[in-house]
């Protein structure tokens, strides 16, 4: 079972971080679904992450996917820069707190 905040690597080698259901709702309203190989898709079904078969993952490019667990493996850690970038997509975007890079 995957826990929110766990660094992961998917079968294509891309790194990401497991996110909570609440974070998934938050990012899905603002970010694009990546539709990477291994994303969970069933006609007529919606995402229902259970962290055993369906794992919501946020990637550093600002996209997310609910992945099939067989395509995801735990990573030792994410480099600090990647983790900070991923976490920046989760943070609420207030007009006054947005800073240009």
**What does the pLDDT read at residue 48?**
81
Residue range 70-82, pLDDT digits in tens: 999 999 899 999 9
Residue range 37-94, pLDDT digits in tens: 999 887 667 778 899 999 999 999 999 999 999 999 999 899 999 999 999 998 876 5
What DSSP element (H or E) covers 84?
helix 80-90
Which regions of 1-101 does DSSP assign to beta strands (E)? 7-10, 15-18, 32-33, 54-59, 63-68, 72-74
* CB distance 56 to 19 below 8 Å: yes
What would the two tokens of residue 30 be?
């603002």
Read off the pTM: 0.85
Name which of 17, 68, 21 is nearest 42 in CA terms. 68
């Amino acid at each position: 079972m995957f826990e929110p905040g766990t660094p992961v690597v998917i079968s294509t080698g891309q790194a990401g971080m497991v996110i909570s259901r609440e974070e998934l709702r938050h990012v899905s309203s603002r970010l694009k679904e990546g539709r990477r190989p291994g994303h969970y898709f069933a006609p007529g079904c919606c995402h229902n992450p259970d962290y055993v078969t369906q794992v919501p993952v946020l990637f550093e490019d600002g996209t997310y996917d609910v992945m099939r667990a067989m395509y995801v493996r735990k990573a030792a850690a994410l480099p600090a820069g990647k983790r900070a970038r991923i976490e920046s997509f989760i943070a609420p975007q207030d007009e006054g707190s947005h800073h240009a890079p």
